Copies of this chain bind each other. A is one copy, B any other.
Amino acid sequence: MSRVISVNPTSGVERELGDVETTPAEVVASAQRAALAAREFASRPLAWRAGLLRAMADNLEEDDQRLVDVAMDETALTRGRLDGELRRTAFQLRFFADVVLDGAFLGVSIDHAGDSPMGPLPDLRRMRVPLGPVAVFGSSNFPFAFSVPGGDTASALAAGCPVLIKAHPAHPATSRAAFDALARAARVFDAPAGLLTLVFGFEAGVALVEAPDVCAVGFTGSVPAGRALWQRANARATPIPFFGELGSANPLVVTAAAAKERGVEIGEGVAGSMTLGVGQFCTKPGLLFVPADECGDALVTALVAALERVEPMTMLSAGIAEHFAQGAAAIAGVDGSSRLVGDASSKGTEVAAQLFEVAASHFANESSTVLREECFGPLAVVVRYHGREELSDALSLVEPALTFSVLSADGDGDAGWLLEVAQAKAGRVIVNGYPTGVGVSWSMQHGGPWPATTAPAATSVGAGSIERWLRPVTYQNVPEALLPEALRDENPLHLPQRVDGVARGSVGGLG
Protein backbone atom coordinates (compact mmCIF):
# COMPACT_ATOMS: atom_id res chain seq x y z
CA MET A 1 0.00 0.00 0.00
CA SER A 2 1.55 3.25 -1.20
CA ARG A 3 0.54 6.25 0.83
CA VAL A 4 -0.54 9.32 -1.13
CA ILE A 5 1.98 12.18 -0.79
CA SER A 6 1.18 15.88 -0.85
CA VAL A 7 4.08 18.17 -1.81
CA ASN A 8 4.40 21.88 -1.08
CA PRO A 9 5.89 23.21 -4.33
CA THR A 10 7.48 26.23 -2.65
CA SER A 11 9.30 24.42 0.16
CA GLY A 12 9.46 20.97 -1.36
CA VAL A 13 8.20 19.54 1.94
CA GLU A 14 6.34 16.25 1.54
CA ARG A 15 3.42 15.16 3.67
CA GLU A 16 1.83 11.71 3.89
CA LEU A 17 -1.95 11.72 3.63
CA GLY A 18 -4.42 9.29 5.16
CA ASP A 19 -5.26 7.97 1.69
CA VAL A 20 -3.42 5.17 -0.10
CA GLU A 21 -3.15 4.65 -3.84
CA THR A 22 -6.15 2.86 -5.29
CA THR A 23 -5.54 -0.58 -6.81
CA PRO A 24 -6.91 -1.49 -10.26
CA ALA A 25 -9.15 -4.11 -8.63
CA GLU A 26 -10.63 -1.44 -6.36
CA VAL A 27 -11.26 0.76 -9.37
CA VAL A 28 -13.13 -2.04 -11.14
CA ALA A 29 -15.23 -2.68 -8.05
CA SER A 30 -16.02 1.03 -7.65
CA ALA A 31 -17.07 1.23 -11.28
CA GLN A 32 -19.43 -1.71 -10.72
CA ARG A 33 -20.96 0.10 -7.75
CA ALA A 34 -21.25 3.22 -9.88
CA ALA A 35 -23.08 1.24 -12.58
CA LEU A 36 -25.56 0.03 -9.96
CA ALA A 37 -25.99 3.59 -8.70
CA ALA A 38 -26.49 4.90 -12.24
CA ARG A 39 -29.97 3.47 -12.71
CA GLU A 40 -31.22 4.68 -9.33
CA PHE A 41 -29.63 8.11 -9.81
CA ALA A 42 -31.17 8.56 -13.25
CA SER A 43 -34.60 7.73 -11.87
CA ARG A 44 -34.57 10.45 -9.19
CA PRO A 45 -36.55 13.62 -10.07
CA LEU A 46 -34.74 16.45 -11.84
CA ALA A 47 -35.55 18.76 -8.93
CA TRP A 48 -33.79 16.37 -6.58
CA ARG A 49 -30.77 16.32 -8.86
CA ALA A 50 -30.67 20.12 -8.95
CA GLY A 51 -30.96 20.22 -5.16
CA LEU A 52 -28.00 17.90 -4.80
CA LEU A 53 -25.84 20.12 -7.03
CA ARG A 54 -26.80 23.19 -5.00
CA ALA A 55 -26.04 21.43 -1.73
CA MET A 56 -22.60 20.56 -3.11
CA ALA A 57 -22.04 24.24 -3.90
CA ASP A 58 -23.15 25.20 -0.39
CA ASN A 59 -20.75 22.71 1.16
CA LEU A 60 -17.80 24.00 -0.85
CA GLU A 61 -18.53 27.51 0.38
CA GLU A 62 -19.04 26.27 3.92
CA ASP A 63 -15.56 24.70 3.80
CA ASP A 64 -13.99 27.56 1.88
CA GLN A 65 -11.30 28.59 4.33
CA ARG A 66 -10.05 25.06 4.87
CA LEU A 67 -10.18 24.25 1.15
CA VAL A 68 -8.27 27.36 0.17
CA ASP A 69 -5.65 26.79 2.88
CA VAL A 70 -5.05 23.23 1.75
CA ALA A 71 -4.90 24.29 -1.90
CA MET A 72 -2.46 27.15 -1.17
CA ASP A 73 -0.12 24.71 0.50
CA GLU A 74 -0.22 22.30 -2.45
CA THR A 75 -0.36 24.62 -5.45
CA ALA A 76 1.51 27.83 -4.51
CA LEU A 77 -1.39 29.75 -6.05
CA THR A 78 -2.42 32.90 -4.20
CA ARG A 79 -5.28 33.10 -1.72
CA GLY A 80 -7.08 35.64 -3.90
CA ARG A 81 -6.89 33.42 -6.92
CA LEU A 82 -7.97 30.29 -5.06
CA ASP A 83 -10.76 32.08 -3.28
CA GLY A 84 -12.11 33.34 -6.61
CA GLU A 85 -11.76 29.89 -8.12
CA LEU A 86 -13.75 28.37 -5.28
CA ARG A 87 -16.60 30.88 -5.80
CA ARG A 88 -16.53 30.09 -9.50
CA THR A 89 -16.72 26.37 -8.78
CA ALA A 90 -19.71 26.80 -6.47
CA PHE A 91 -21.37 29.04 -9.07
CA GLN A 92 -20.75 26.37 -11.70
CA LEU A 93 -22.52 23.70 -9.63
CA ARG A 94 -25.50 26.04 -9.17
CA PHE A 95 -25.45 26.90 -12.87
CA PHE A 96 -25.79 23.22 -13.71
CA ALA A 97 -28.70 22.98 -11.28
CA ASP A 98 -30.33 25.66 -13.47
CA VAL A 99 -29.45 23.71 -16.62
CA VAL A 100 -31.09 20.61 -15.14
CA LEU A 101 -34.28 22.48 -14.24
CA ASP A 102 -34.40 24.20 -17.63
CA GLY A 103 -34.82 20.72 -19.14
CA ALA A 104 -33.78 21.59 -22.70
CA PHE A 105 -30.72 19.34 -22.26
CA LEU A 106 -33.05 16.33 -22.52
CA GLY A 107 -33.82 17.28 -26.13
CA VAL A 108 -37.38 15.94 -25.96
CA SER A 109 -39.02 15.46 -29.35
CA ILE A 110 -42.36 13.79 -29.99
CA ASP A 111 -43.60 12.77 -33.44
CA HIS A 112 -47.08 11.32 -33.40
CA ALA A 113 -47.89 8.50 -35.78
CA GLY A 114 -48.90 9.77 -39.18
CA ASP A 115 -48.54 9.58 -42.88
CA SER A 116 -45.47 10.75 -44.79
CA PRO A 117 -44.24 10.68 -48.40
CA MET A 118 -42.26 7.60 -47.34
CA GLY A 119 -45.38 5.87 -46.03
CA PRO A 120 -46.95 5.67 -42.57
CA LEU A 121 -44.63 6.50 -39.67
CA PRO A 122 -45.10 5.06 -36.18
CA ASP A 123 -45.25 7.12 -32.99
CA LEU A 124 -41.63 8.15 -32.29
CA ARG A 125 -40.41 9.94 -29.16
CA ARG A 126 -36.83 10.85 -28.52
CA MET A 127 -34.94 12.09 -25.46
CA ARG A 128 -31.42 12.01 -24.11
CA VAL A 129 -30.52 9.54 -21.38
CA PRO A 130 -27.38 9.41 -19.20
CA LEU A 131 -24.46 7.36 -20.57
CA GLY A 132 -23.60 5.77 -17.22
CA PRO A 133 -20.52 6.08 -14.96
CA VAL A 134 -18.09 8.81 -16.07
CA ALA A 135 -14.37 8.91 -15.23
CA VAL A 136 -13.08 12.43 -14.49
CA PHE A 137 -9.42 13.42 -14.69
CA GLY A 138 -8.94 16.83 -13.10
CA SER A 139 -6.25 19.22 -14.22
CA SER A 140 -3.20 20.40 -12.28
CA ASN A 141 -3.84 24.09 -12.78
CA PHE A 142 -7.35 24.60 -11.43
CA PRO A 143 -7.53 22.57 -8.21
CA PHE A 144 -11.24 23.38 -7.86
CA ALA A 145 -12.78 24.58 -11.14
CA PHE A 146 -11.30 21.86 -13.39
CA SER A 147 -10.70 19.21 -10.74
CA VAL A 148 -12.69 17.13 -8.23
CA PRO A 149 -15.67 19.53 -7.86
CA GLY A 150 -15.16 21.10 -11.31
CA GLY A 151 -16.95 21.30 -14.62
CA ASP A 152 -16.66 17.65 -15.65
CA THR A 153 -18.02 16.45 -12.32
CA ALA A 154 -20.79 19.05 -12.24
CA SER A 155 -21.90 18.43 -15.83
CA ALA A 156 -21.78 14.62 -15.49
CA LEU A 157 -23.87 14.70 -12.30
CA ALA A 158 -26.26 17.14 -13.98
CA ALA A 159 -26.59 14.65 -16.85
CA GLY A 160 -27.47 11.91 -14.37
CA CYS A 161 -24.15 10.06 -14.45
CA PRO A 162 -22.20 8.80 -11.42
CA VAL A 163 -18.58 10.01 -11.39
CA LEU A 164 -15.29 8.32 -10.59
CA ILE A 165 -12.70 11.03 -10.09
CA LYS A 166 -8.95 10.66 -10.31
CA ALA A 167 -7.22 12.99 -7.86
CA HIS A 168 -4.47 15.00 -9.53
CA PRO A 169 -1.08 14.14 -7.98
CA ALA A 170 -0.24 17.85 -7.73
CA HIS A 171 -3.07 18.43 -5.22
CA PRO A 172 -4.24 15.19 -3.57
CA ALA A 173 -5.10 16.79 -0.22
CA THR A 174 -7.23 19.44 -1.94
CA SER A 175 -8.88 16.66 -3.94
CA ARG A 176 -9.73 14.75 -0.78
CA ALA A 177 -11.07 17.82 1.01
CA ALA A 178 -13.22 18.89 -1.95
CA PHE A 179 -14.46 15.35 -2.45
CA ASP A 180 -15.53 15.16 1.18
CA ALA A 181 -17.59 18.32 0.73
CA LEU A 182 -19.38 16.76 -2.27
CA ALA A 183 -19.83 13.42 -0.50
CA ARG A 184 -21.39 15.14 2.52
CA ALA A 185 -24.06 16.60 0.27
CA ALA A 186 -24.63 13.19 -1.33
CA ARG A 187 -25.17 11.65 2.12
CA VAL A 188 -27.61 14.34 3.22
CA PHE A 189 -29.53 13.81 -0.02
CA ASP A 190 -29.49 10.04 0.45
CA ALA A 191 -27.87 9.63 -2.95
CA PRO A 192 -27.28 6.05 -4.06
CA ALA A 193 -24.01 4.52 -2.82
CA GLY A 194 -21.47 4.53 -5.63
CA LEU A 195 -22.52 7.93 -7.00
CA LEU A 196 -19.15 9.49 -6.14
CA THR A 197 -15.75 7.79 -6.07
CA LEU A 198 -12.30 9.29 -5.57
CA VAL A 199 -9.21 7.35 -6.67
CA PHE A 200 -5.51 8.05 -6.30
CA GLY A 201 -2.47 7.05 -8.32
CA PHE A 202 -1.29 6.62 -11.89
CA GLU A 203 -2.35 2.99 -12.17
CA ALA A 204 -5.78 3.80 -10.86
CA GLY A 205 -6.14 6.33 -13.66
CA VAL A 206 -5.33 3.76 -16.31
CA ALA A 207 -7.69 1.29 -14.65
CA LEU A 208 -10.46 3.89 -14.73
CA VAL A 209 -10.22 4.27 -18.51
CA GLU A 210 -10.25 0.50 -18.93
CA ALA A 211 -12.91 -0.46 -16.36
CA PRO A 212 -15.75 -2.22 -18.20
CA ASP A 213 -18.44 -0.27 -16.33
CA VAL A 214 -17.01 3.16 -17.16
CA CYS A 215 -18.96 4.64 -20.09
CA ALA A 216 -17.07 7.87 -20.87
CA VAL A 217 -14.04 9.89 -19.81
CA GLY A 218 -13.55 13.59 -19.15
CA PHE A 219 -9.93 14.72 -19.13
CA THR A 220 -8.12 18.04 -18.82
CA GLY A 221 -4.35 18.02 -19.26
CA SER A 222 -1.43 17.78 -21.63
CA VAL A 223 -1.42 16.48 -25.20
CA PRO A 224 0.87 13.48 -24.46
CA ALA A 225 -1.07 12.34 -21.37
CA GLY A 226 -4.41 12.98 -23.01
CA ARG A 227 -3.47 11.22 -26.22
CA ALA A 228 -2.17 8.18 -24.31
CA LEU A 229 -5.38 7.80 -22.30
CA TRP A 230 -7.53 8.47 -25.38
CA GLN A 231 -5.70 5.64 -27.15
CA ARG A 232 -6.45 3.34 -24.22
CA ALA A 233 -10.12 4.29 -24.36
CA ASN A 234 -10.10 3.42 -28.07
CA ALA A 235 -8.22 0.15 -27.54
CA ARG A 236 -10.87 -1.27 -25.19
CA ALA A 237 -12.91 -4.24 -26.42
CA THR A 238 -15.78 -1.76 -26.21
CA PRO A 239 -14.34 1.68 -26.95
CA ILE A 240 -15.90 4.59 -25.05
CA PRO A 241 -16.11 8.34 -25.72
CA PHE A 242 -13.09 10.24 -24.43
CA PHE A 243 -13.48 13.99 -24.05
CA GLY A 244 -10.00 15.40 -23.61
CA GLU A 245 -9.18 19.07 -23.41
CA LEU A 246 -5.51 19.01 -24.37
CA GLY A 247 -3.04 21.64 -25.50
CA SER A 248 -3.59 25.02 -27.05
CA ALA A 249 -1.10 27.66 -28.16
CA ASN A 250 -3.86 30.36 -28.22
CA PRO A 251 -2.79 32.70 -30.98
CA LEU A 252 -3.35 36.42 -30.48
CA VAL A 253 -3.09 38.74 -33.47
CA VAL A 254 -2.47 42.46 -33.18
CA THR A 255 -3.41 44.27 -36.37
CA ALA A 256 -1.25 47.10 -37.65
CA ALA A 257 -4.04 49.55 -36.87
CA ALA A 258 -4.37 48.29 -33.29
CA ALA A 259 -0.62 48.46 -32.70
CA LYS A 260 -0.67 52.01 -33.99
CA GLU A 261 -3.66 53.00 -31.88
CA ARG A 262 -2.68 51.42 -28.54
CA GLY A 263 0.47 49.32 -28.83
CA VAL A 264 1.74 50.09 -25.34
CA GLU A 265 -1.62 49.31 -23.72
CA ILE A 266 -1.78 46.00 -25.58
CA GLY A 267 1.79 45.12 -24.58
CA GLU A 268 0.89 45.60 -20.94
CA GLY A 269 -2.41 43.74 -21.31
CA VAL A 270 -0.73 40.73 -22.87
CA ALA A 271 1.87 40.66 -20.10
CA GLY A 272 -0.91 40.42 -17.53
CA SER A 273 -2.80 37.71 -19.41
CA MET A 274 0.21 35.50 -20.10
CA THR A 275 1.45 35.56 -16.50
CA LEU A 276 -1.95 35.19 -14.81
CA GLY A 277 -1.82 32.14 -12.54
CA VAL A 278 1.90 31.73 -13.43
CA GLY A 279 0.87 31.27 -17.06
CA GLN A 280 -0.67 27.96 -16.06
CA PHE A 281 -3.90 28.54 -17.98
CA CYS A 282 -5.00 26.41 -20.92
CA THR A 283 -6.09 29.70 -22.48
CA LYS A 284 -2.81 31.57 -21.95
CA PRO A 285 -1.98 33.58 -25.08
CA GLY A 286 1.15 31.80 -26.31
CA LEU A 287 1.63 33.04 -29.86
CA LEU A 288 1.57 36.81 -30.34
CA PHE A 289 1.45 38.10 -33.91
CA VAL A 290 2.74 41.66 -33.90
CA PRO A 291 3.47 43.88 -36.92
CA ALA A 292 7.16 44.32 -37.75
CA ASP A 293 6.96 48.10 -37.69
CA GLU A 294 7.65 50.88 -35.22
CA CYS A 295 4.27 50.59 -33.53
CA GLY A 296 4.90 46.88 -33.11
CA ASP A 297 8.31 47.70 -31.64
CA ALA A 298 6.67 49.98 -29.09
CA LEU A 299 4.21 47.20 -28.20
CA VAL A 300 7.01 44.69 -27.69
CA THR A 301 9.04 47.19 -25.65
CA ALA A 302 6.07 47.73 -23.34
CA LEU A 303 5.48 43.98 -23.11
CA VAL A 304 9.12 43.36 -22.22
CA ALA A 305 9.11 46.09 -19.61
CA ALA A 306 5.92 44.77 -18.04
CA LEU A 307 7.26 41.21 -17.93
CA GLU A 308 10.52 42.35 -16.37
CA ARG A 309 8.52 43.86 -13.54
CA VAL A 310 6.90 40.49 -12.80
CA GLU A 311 8.50 38.81 -9.76
CA PRO A 312 9.65 35.20 -10.02
CA MET A 313 6.73 32.82 -9.52
CA THR A 314 6.30 29.31 -8.12
CA MET A 315 4.85 26.71 -10.45
CA LEU A 316 2.40 23.98 -9.42
CA SER A 317 4.96 21.21 -9.12
CA ALA A 318 8.61 20.38 -9.72
CA GLY A 319 7.65 18.28 -12.73
CA ILE A 320 5.70 21.11 -14.32
CA ALA A 321 8.57 23.56 -13.70
CA GLU A 322 11.04 21.14 -15.28
CA HIS A 323 8.79 20.72 -18.29
CA PHE A 324 8.54 24.49 -18.59
CA ALA A 325 12.34 24.83 -18.55
CA GLN A 326 12.63 22.18 -21.26
CA GLY A 327 10.02 23.93 -23.37
CA ALA A 328 11.78 27.27 -23.05
CA ALA A 329 15.11 25.66 -23.98
CA ALA A 330 13.57 24.08 -27.07
CA ILE A 331 12.16 27.42 -28.20
CA ALA A 332 15.50 29.11 -27.54
CA GLY A 333 17.10 26.56 -29.84
CA VAL A 334 14.84 27.31 -32.81
CA ASP A 335 16.60 28.87 -35.78
CA GLY A 336 15.99 32.63 -35.72
CA SER A 337 14.41 32.80 -32.28
CA SER A 338 15.74 35.35 -29.81
CA ARG A 339 15.01 35.58 -26.11
CA LEU A 340 13.68 38.98 -25.03
CA VAL A 341 12.86 38.26 -21.39
CA GLY A 342 14.04 35.58 -18.94
CA ASP A 343 17.13 33.44 -18.88
CA ALA A 344 18.05 29.79 -19.18
CA SER A 345 18.70 29.27 -15.48
CA SER A 346 16.01 27.65 -13.36
CA LYS A 347 15.71 27.16 -9.61
CA GLY A 348 13.37 24.29 -8.77
CA THR A 349 9.74 25.37 -8.96
CA GLU A 350 10.54 29.08 -9.08
CA VAL A 351 10.45 30.51 -12.58
CA ALA A 352 10.62 33.86 -14.31
CA ALA A 353 8.45 34.94 -17.23
CA GLN A 354 9.97 34.27 -20.64
CA LEU A 355 9.44 36.00 -23.95
CA PHE A 356 10.84 35.02 -27.33
CA GLU A 357 10.72 36.72 -30.69
CA VAL A 358 10.89 35.29 -34.18
CA ALA A 359 10.30 36.70 -37.65
CA ALA A 360 7.19 35.39 -39.40
CA SER A 361 9.46 34.17 -42.20
CA HIS A 362 11.21 31.92 -39.68
CA PHE A 363 7.92 30.79 -38.15
CA ALA A 364 7.28 28.82 -41.32
CA ASN A 365 10.51 26.80 -41.02
CA GLU A 366 10.22 23.10 -40.43
CA SER A 367 12.40 23.46 -37.34
CA SER A 368 9.85 25.83 -35.88
CA THR A 369 7.09 23.33 -35.06
CA VAL A 370 7.93 23.62 -31.35
CA LEU A 371 6.86 27.28 -31.54
CA ARG A 372 3.40 26.21 -32.58
CA GLU A 373 2.84 23.89 -29.60
CA GLU A 374 1.68 24.89 -26.17
CA CYS A 375 4.41 25.64 -23.60
CA PHE A 376 2.62 25.49 -20.25
CA GLY A 377 3.74 28.40 -18.07
CA PRO A 378 4.49 32.15 -18.26
CA LEU A 379 6.01 32.14 -21.75
CA ALA A 380 4.99 33.52 -25.11
CA VAL A 381 6.51 33.82 -28.57
CA VAL A 382 6.18 37.08 -30.48
CA VAL A 383 5.93 36.52 -34.23
CA ARG A 384 6.75 39.71 -36.16
CA TYR A 385 5.03 40.01 -39.53
CA HIS A 386 5.36 42.32 -42.54
CA GLY A 387 1.93 42.93 -44.01
CA ARG A 388 -1.22 40.95 -44.54
CA GLU A 389 0.19 38.23 -46.77
CA GLU A 390 2.98 37.24 -44.44
CA LEU A 391 0.55 37.24 -41.52
CA SER A 392 -1.93 35.12 -43.43
CA ASP A 393 0.76 32.61 -44.40
CA ALA A 394 1.99 32.33 -40.82
CA LEU A 395 -1.54 31.90 -39.45
CA SER A 396 -2.18 29.08 -41.88
CA LEU A 397 0.49 27.14 -39.95
CA VAL A 398 -1.04 27.73 -36.54
CA GLU A 399 -2.60 24.67 -34.93
CA PRO A 400 -6.27 24.65 -33.92
CA ALA A 401 -6.71 26.10 -30.45
CA LEU A 402 -9.18 26.72 -27.66
CA THR A 403 -9.09 30.45 -28.33
CA PHE A 404 -8.04 32.91 -31.02
CA SER A 405 -7.84 36.60 -30.14
CA VAL A 406 -7.88 39.52 -32.53
CA LEU A 407 -6.86 42.95 -31.29
CA SER A 408 -8.05 45.49 -33.83
CA ALA A 409 -9.00 49.13 -34.14
CA ASP A 410 -12.32 50.71 -35.13
CA GLY A 411 -12.96 50.29 -38.85
CA ASP A 412 -9.93 48.04 -39.11
CA GLY A 413 -9.74 46.49 -42.58
CA ASP A 414 -8.05 43.39 -41.16
CA ALA A 415 -10.66 42.41 -38.59
CA GLY A 416 -12.99 40.69 -41.05
CA TRP A 417 -10.61 38.21 -42.62
CA LEU A 418 -8.88 37.58 -39.31
CA LEU A 419 -12.20 36.58 -37.72
CA GLU A 420 -12.75 34.10 -40.54
CA VAL A 421 -9.34 32.55 -39.88
CA ALA A 422 -10.05 32.59 -36.16
CA GLN A 423 -13.37 30.81 -36.53
CA ALA A 424 -11.76 28.07 -38.61
CA LYS A 425 -9.04 27.54 -36.04
CA ALA A 426 -10.65 27.82 -32.62
CA GLY A 427 -13.64 27.21 -30.38
CA ARG A 428 -13.70 30.74 -28.99
CA VAL A 429 -13.00 33.89 -30.96
CA ILE A 430 -12.21 37.05 -28.99
CA VAL A 431 -12.10 40.61 -30.23
CA ASN A 432 -10.23 43.24 -28.24
CA GLY A 433 -9.82 41.12 -25.16
CA TYR A 434 -7.55 38.47 -23.71
CA PRO A 435 -8.32 34.76 -23.73
CA THR A 436 -7.66 33.98 -20.06
CA GLY A 437 -10.88 33.82 -18.10
CA VAL A 438 -13.50 31.32 -19.23
CA GLY A 439 -16.98 32.33 -18.18
CA VAL A 440 -19.47 29.70 -17.08
CA SER A 441 -22.56 30.51 -19.15
CA TRP A 442 -25.09 29.25 -21.67
CA SER A 443 -22.97 30.53 -24.55
CA MET A 444 -19.48 29.41 -23.59
CA GLN A 445 -17.49 27.11 -25.85
CA HIS A 446 -14.30 25.73 -24.35
CA GLY A 447 -13.03 23.32 -26.96
CA GLY A 448 -11.83 23.20 -30.53
CA PRO A 449 -10.45 20.95 -33.24
CA TRP A 450 -7.56 18.60 -32.44
CA PRO A 451 -5.17 19.13 -30.60
CA ALA A 452 -7.27 21.59 -28.58
CA THR A 453 -9.64 18.73 -27.79
CA THR A 454 -10.13 15.11 -28.83
CA ALA A 455 -13.72 15.85 -29.90
CA PRO A 456 -14.17 19.11 -31.82
CA ALA A 457 -17.87 19.49 -31.06
CA ALA A 458 -17.44 19.10 -27.31
CA THR A 459 -17.09 21.86 -24.74
CA SER A 460 -15.82 21.35 -21.21
CA VAL A 461 -17.26 24.61 -19.88
CA GLY A 462 -20.78 26.02 -20.09
CA ALA A 463 -24.23 24.52 -20.51
CA GLY A 464 -23.24 22.55 -23.62
CA SER A 465 -20.74 20.48 -21.63
CA ILE A 466 -23.62 18.37 -20.28
CA GLU A 467 -24.17 16.95 -23.78
CA ARG A 468 -20.98 14.89 -23.52
CA TRP A 469 -22.57 12.54 -21.00
CA LEU A 470 -25.86 11.85 -22.78
CA ARG A 471 -27.08 9.79 -25.71
CA PRO A 472 -30.47 9.91 -27.40
CA VAL A 473 -32.96 7.05 -27.26
CA THR A 474 -36.08 6.85 -29.41
CA TYR A 475 -39.18 5.11 -28.10
CA GLN A 476 -41.31 3.69 -30.89
CA ASN A 477 -44.95 2.86 -30.35
CA VAL A 478 -44.51 2.73 -26.57
CA PRO A 479 -47.81 2.94 -24.63
CA GLU A 480 -48.23 6.11 -22.55
CA ALA A 481 -48.07 4.22 -19.26
CA LEU A 482 -44.69 2.73 -20.13
CA LEU A 483 -43.15 5.95 -21.48
CA PRO A 484 -40.70 8.00 -19.41
CA GLU A 485 -42.60 10.97 -17.96
CA ALA A 486 -40.53 13.36 -20.07
CA LEU A 487 -42.03 11.89 -23.25
CA ARG A 488 -45.70 11.89 -22.34
CA ASP A 489 -48.22 14.01 -24.18
CA GLU A 490 -49.54 15.75 -21.07
CA ASN A 491 -45.92 16.77 -20.25
CA PRO A 492 -46.14 16.33 -16.48
CA LEU A 493 -42.57 17.60 -15.99
CA HIS A 494 -43.27 20.82 -17.95
CA LEU A 495 -40.25 20.22 -20.16
CA PRO A 496 -39.46 21.97 -23.42
CA GLN A 497 -40.76 19.63 -26.14
CA ARG A 498 -40.62 19.66 -29.90
CA VAL A 499 -43.92 18.17 -31.05
CA ASP A 500 -44.43 17.00 -34.64
CA GLY A 501 -41.48 19.13 -35.65
CA VAL A 502 -42.67 22.31 -34.00
CA ALA A 503 -41.13 23.72 -30.84
CA ARG A 504 -43.78 24.30 -28.16
CA GLY A 505 -43.98 27.52 -26.17
CA SER A 506 -40.73 28.45 -24.55
CA VAL A 507 -38.94 25.38 -25.81
CA GLY A 508 -35.23 25.91 -26.04
CA GLY A 509 -32.24 24.04 -27.34
CA LEU A 510 -29.15 24.08 -25.25
CA GLY A 511 -27.76 26.78 -27.41
Closest to A429 in B: B475
Question: If A471-B456, A474-B445, A501-B442 touch, does A509 touch B482 (CB 8 Å cutoff)?
Answer: no
Indicate whether A109 sits within 8 Å of B433 (C-beta atoms), given known contacts A118-B91, A457-B471, A471-B449.
no
B507 touches A474 (CB 8 A): no
Q: Are A474 and B508 in contact (CB under 8 A)?
A: no
Q: Across the interface, do A111 and B442 meet the contact criterion of CB distance under 8 Å?
A: yes
A387 in contact (CB, < 8 A): no
Tell me whether A345 is interfacial, beta carbon within 8 Å: no
Given A443-B111, A472-B464: A433 in contact with B496 (beta carbons within 8 A): no
Check A427 against B501 for contact (C-beta < 8 Å).
Answer: no
Partner of A430, one of B117, B119, B454, B477: B477
Binds B, one of A121-129, A135-143, A262-270, A294-302: A121-129
* Bound form: Cα–Cα A474–B118 in Å: 38
Once the chains bind, are B443 and A110 in contact (CB under 8 Å)? yes
Tally of this chain's copies: 2
Given known pairs A427-B472, A443-B474, A473-B428, the reply for A507 and B506 (CB within 8 Å) is yes
Taking a contact as CB atoms under 8 Å apart, the answer to whether B118 and A88 are in contact is yes
Would you give the shortest CB distance from A144 to chain B, in whole angstroms? 12
Q: How far is the CA of A490 from the CA of B477 in the complex (A)?
A: 42
Interface pair B454/A239, CB less than 8 Å apart? yes
Q: Is the CB of B474 within 8 A of A241?
A: no
Residue A32 CB within 8 A of the other chain? no
Interface size class of A (residues with CB under 8 A): 35 or more
Q: A107-B510, A107-B511 are in contact. Are A467 and B457 (CB under 8 A)?
A: yes
A256 at the interface (CB under 8 A from B): no
- Assess A444 versus B124: contact at CB under 8 Å? Given A428-B473, A432-B477: yes
Residues of B within 8 A of A206 (CB): none
- Tell whether A240 is near chain B: CB-to-CB under 8 Å: yes
Q: How far is the CB of A235 from chain B (nearest CB, A)?
A: 10
Please give, as numbers and ranges, the residues of chain B lying within 8 Å of A78 by CB-CB distance: none
The answer to whether B509 and A510 have CB atoms under 8 Å apart is yes
Query: Cβ of A501 and Cβ of B98 under 8 Å apart?
Result: yes
Interface status of A56 (Cβ within 8 A of chain B): no
Q: Mark A98-118, 1 if CB is under 8 A from B, else 0.
A: 100010100111110000111
Residue of A241, A423, A442, A477 ringed by the most chain B CB atoms within 10 A:
A442
Closest Cβ of chain B to A458, distance in Å, is 8
A456 touches B98 (CB 8 A): no
- Decide: A503 and B498 in contact? CB cutoff 8 A: no
Is A415 in the interface zone, CB < 8 Å from B? yes
Contact assessment for B457 and A240 in the assembled complex, using a CB-CB cutoff below 8 Å = no
Determine whether A84 belongs to the interface, using a CB cutoff of 8 Å to chain B: yes
Query: When A234-B234, A429-B475, A472-B457 are in contact, do A442 and B503 touch as well, CB less than 8 Å?
Result: no
Q: List 7 A-B contacts (CB under 8 A).
A: A108-B511, A110-B443, A111-B442, A126-B464, A239-B454, A430-B478, A459-B472
